[in-house]
């Protein structure tokens, strides 16, 4: 009988899976990530679950990105996919329609590889891409992890290992010092796993920041100049102010993942960032780092950028309209309330940061003008003629791809939030504000475990503030004059 050569990374992942399953709850899905050698293009992934599939099923790779409002075909970068039965024999699963592969009854383990170098080359939006560069690997969970259809709500366990002497960090379980030993972490479900990030390599820098209500980390990789001390102070200040605004911290830790990147082609774009359950990711040009001699205006822009994306850990990650959860991984969902997620989230950040300014009211008015009103003035008429719900549906699949839609939907939502805040404060004589309503919505979403319907929003705000804002909401939902 002949012997089939097994890739060394698969053997390493098999050992990882055995270690994990020995301690995993009976329904938990174990994930292993192994990056074998510095300079390799691909990472190896393994999934294993306790009991063999009772019937044929599907392995699904994400194409939609939470809060990305678009799609990326991450399954295009998958190779060497193998499925294993209880006897340890492997087969090559057949391809189904979409980002799916067929798993036979009896399957209990899957291995595959993801080519991160090709992924970065082909995905031109830096905020959607993972990457391997000299001395560094940065991976977005949804770009590398697949799931067994029907297992999305199961708890997950993750183990990550890298090349010898490479430090490893996961936003699921941040810890210092960042050592070379494999990192173990758990997530409540596939969404939490997919919404996390992995950082490793000698060129990655991880710090724990001080003066924070929960452990706060900065994970940085820079191909250009940056003052990490100054950046750390700005990130800590932003987190403290945003956390104070919302009044609760519904996560045990938070990571700011910050990359300054040299474009690998003229088609690659840098400057967009992304928010996650327990982290935010920033993908900026190598020349845009905050340096020691940068003027205060540059620091203000960085503070605003970080505060904005931190606020999304509350809105819409914890308070959201229909369509955000449960998330549809195979197709970008059509969402009616992007204006709430993006506009109200940004307005909350503006109000949070204003409390740290010498003149909060002037800061608020100036930022509303620059961030929201100017975008409405410059928007094309055909987009202004859409109702806000229609605009949200259009932006659901091209928010950043055609950023005219993204800018207008968040600007109209942000000005709706400002108008609601003004109505609440006027009628309550300053005793309550939109902040009370947003805090209430975070608690309501956690309790009800669902997104609100648009026709429920005014009632929920009234429950929190005793102020009826229905006419304000209706006015801003209509097409612009």
Q: What is the pLDDT of residue 180?
A: 84
| Mean pLDDT value across residues 224-235 | 98
With bands split at pLDDT 50, 70 and 90, how would you rate the model's confidence at 246? very high
With bands split at pLDDT 50, 70 and 90, how would you rate the model's confidence at 25? low
- How many Å from the N-terminal Cα to the C-terminal Cα in the chain? 78
Tell me: pLDDT of 14 over 50.
no
Cα–Cα distance for residue pair 204/170, rounded to 1 Å? 12
pLDDT tens, residue by residue, 191-227: 999 999 999 999 999 999 988 999 999 999 999 999 9
| Mean pLDDT value across residues 392-409 | 95
Q: At a CB cut-off of 8 Å and minimum separation 6, what does 279 contact? A: 171, 196, 197, 254, 255, 256, 257
Beta-bridge mates of residue 308: none
Q: What is the pLDDT of residue 2?
A: 35
Q: What is the pLDDT of residue 23?
A: 52
Tell me: pLDDT of 122 over 60.
yes
Q: Burial of 450 by CB count in 10 Å (0-12 exposed, 13-18 middle, 19+ buried)?
A: middle
Tell me: pLDDT of 261 over 70.
yes
Tell me: pLDDT of 63 over 50.
yes
With bands split at pLDDT 50, 70 and 90, how would you rate the model's confidence at 424? very high
Q: Under DSSP, is residue 458 helix (H, G, I), strand (E, B) or coil?
A: helix
With bands split at pLDDT 50, 70 and 90, how would you rate the model's confidence at 4? very low
Q: What is the pLDDT of residue 271?
A: 86
- Structure-model confidence comparison of residues 394 and 8, the more confident one: 394
Tell me: pLDDT of 256 over 50.
yes
| Mean pLDDT value across residues 442-471 | 97
Q: What percent of the chain has pLDDT over 70?
A: 95
Cα–Cα distance for residue pair 296/298, rounded to 1 Å? 5
Q: What is the pLDDT of residue 179?
A: 83
With bands split at pLDDT 50, 70 and 90, how would you rate the model's confidence at 333? very high
Tell me: pLDDT of 8 over 70.
no
pLDDT tens, residue by residue, 66-112: 999 999 999 999 999 999 999 999 999 999 999 999 999 999 999 99
Tell me: pLDDT of 133 over 70.
yes
Domains of the chain (ranges plus CATH)? 8-203 (2.60.40.3650), 204-313 (1.10.390.10), 315-481 (1.10.390.10)
In this prediction the pTM is: 0.93
């Amino acid at each position: 009988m002949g012997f089939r050569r097994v890739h060394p990374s698969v053997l390493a992942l098999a050992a990882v899976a055995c270690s994990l399953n020995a301690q995993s709850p009976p329904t938990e899905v174990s994930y292993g990530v192994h990056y074998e050698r510095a300079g390799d293009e691909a990472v190896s992934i393994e999934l294993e679950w306790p009991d063999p599939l009772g019937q044929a099923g599907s392995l699904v790779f994400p194409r939609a990105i939470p809060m990305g409002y678009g799609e990326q075909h991450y399954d295009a970068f998958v190779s060497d996919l193998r499925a294993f039965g209880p006897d340890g024999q492997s087969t090559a699963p057949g391809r189904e329609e979409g980002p799916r592969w067929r798993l036979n009854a009896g399957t209990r383990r899957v291995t595959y590889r993801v080519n991160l170098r090709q992924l970065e080359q082909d995905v031109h939006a830096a905020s959607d891409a993972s990457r391997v560069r000299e001395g560094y690997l940065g991976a977005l969970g949804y770009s590398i992890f697949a799931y067994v259809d029907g297992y999305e709500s199961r708890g997950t366990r993750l183990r990550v290992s890298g090349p010898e002497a490479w430090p490893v960090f996961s936003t699921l379980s941040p810890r210092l010092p960042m050592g070379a030993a494999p990192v173990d972490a758990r997530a409540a479900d596939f969404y939490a796993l997919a919404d996390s990030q992995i950082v490793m390599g000698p060129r990655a820098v991880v710090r724990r920041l001080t003066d924070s209500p929960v452990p706060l980390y900065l994970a940085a990789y820079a191909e250009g100049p940056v003052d990490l001390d100054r950046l750390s102070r700005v990130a800590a200040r932003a987190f403290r102010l945003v956390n104070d605004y919302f009044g609760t911290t519904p996560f045990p830790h938070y990571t700011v993942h910050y990359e300054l990147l040299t474009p690998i082609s003229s088609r690659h774009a840098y400057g967009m960032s992304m928010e996650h359950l327990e982290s935010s990711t920033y993908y900026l040009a190598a020349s845009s780092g905050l340096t020691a001699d940068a003027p205060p205006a540059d620091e203000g822009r960085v503070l605003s950028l970080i505060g904005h994306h931190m606020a999304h850990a509350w809105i819409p990650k914890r308070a959201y309209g229909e369509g955000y959860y449960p998330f549809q991984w195979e197709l970008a969902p059509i969402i009616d309330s992007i204006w709430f997620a993006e506009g109200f989230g940004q307005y909350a950040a503006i109000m949070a940061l204003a409390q740290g300014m010498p003149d909060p009211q002037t800061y608020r008015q100036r930022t509303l003008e620059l961030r929201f009103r100017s975008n409405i003035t410059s928007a094309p008429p055909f987009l202004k003629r859409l109702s806000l719900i229609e605009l949200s549906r259009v932006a659901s699949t091209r928010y950043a791809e055609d950023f005219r839609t993204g800018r207008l939907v968040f600007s109209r939502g942000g000005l709706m939030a400002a108008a609601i805040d003004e109505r609440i404060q006027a009628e309550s004589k300053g005793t309550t504000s939109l902040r009370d309503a947003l805090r209430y919505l975070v608690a309501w979403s956690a309790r009800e475990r669902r997104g609100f319907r648009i026709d429920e929003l005014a009632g929920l705000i009234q429950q929190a503030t005793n102020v009826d804002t229905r006419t304000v909401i209706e006015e801003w939902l209509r097409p612009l004059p």
